[in-house]
Amino acid sequence: MDPETAACGPASDQSWLCTTVFRISHNETAAEVADALALPLRILLIVLLAWLTIHVLRRMVSRAANRLRDQPRSSAFRDRTTDPGVLSDVARRRHRQRVDTLAAVLRNVVSVVVWLVAVLLIISALGVDLGPLLASAGVATVIIGFGAQQVVRDYLAGLFMLLEDQ
C-alpha cells in the first residue's frame, strides 16, 4: 500500500491538508494530525470568511446610506410637501430617519443571508447531503409562506411606506 494512502486514506477521501503535510514531511503521524485538523480548520475558515463578508457588506450599506442621507433630494426620498421652505427641517429629519431605517433593515438582511449560506456550507463540510435538506426546507417554506402571507404583506407594505414617505 502507498504510504500516502496509509496516512491519509483512499484518494477520494484525502484532504488537501493531509496530502500536503505528508508530501512535505513524509511523516505519517503529522499527516494524520493534519487530517484530523482539516475539518475544524475548514469550518473556522468558513466562519471567518462569513464574518469578513458581513463586515464588508455592512460597511458598503452604511456608506451608501451616508451618501443617501447627505442627498436630501434623491429620487427615492423626495419631499412630499407642497412648500419646500415650510417643513424643510422636518422633511430633512424624516429623510434621515427613513434612510437609517432602510439601512438597518438591509444590514440585517445581509447578515442573515450570509450566515445562512455559511451554515449550509458548514453542514455540507460535515458530510451531510444538502439535497434532501433543501428539498424539505423548500416544502416547509411553502407551508410557512401560506401561513405567514399577511405578515410578509404587512412587512413589505411598511417598507414601501418608508420609501414613499406616506
Smallest Cα–Cα separation from 20: which of 91, 7, 63, 10? 7
Is 59 domain-assigned? yes
- Count of C-beta atoms within a 10 Å radius of residue 50: 19
Is 69 domain-assigned? yes
Q: What is the pLDDT of residue 81?
A: 52
Q: What's the one-letter identity of residue 12?
A: S
Query: Residue 162: pLDDT above 70?
Result: yes
Is 119 domain-assigned? yes
> How many domains would you assign to the chain?
1
Q: What is the pLDDT of residue 13?
A: 73
List the domain range (segments joined by +) for residue 60.
Answer: 43-128
| pTM more than 0.75 | no
Mean pLDDT value across residues 117-133:
91
When pLDDT is cut at 50, 70 and 90, the band that residue 113 belongs to is very high
pLDDT in tens, 68-108: 887 755 545 455 555 555 557 777 788 888 889 889 999 99
Is 111 domain-assigned? yes
- Non-local CB neighbours of 105 within 8 Å, separated by 6+ positions: 159
Is 29 domain-assigned? no
Q: What is the pLDDT of residue 68?
A: 84
**In angstroms, rounded to a whole number, what is the distance separating the alpha carbons of residues 5 and 161?**
63
**In angstroms, rounded to a whole number, what is the distance separating the alpha carbons of residues 122 and 6?**
27
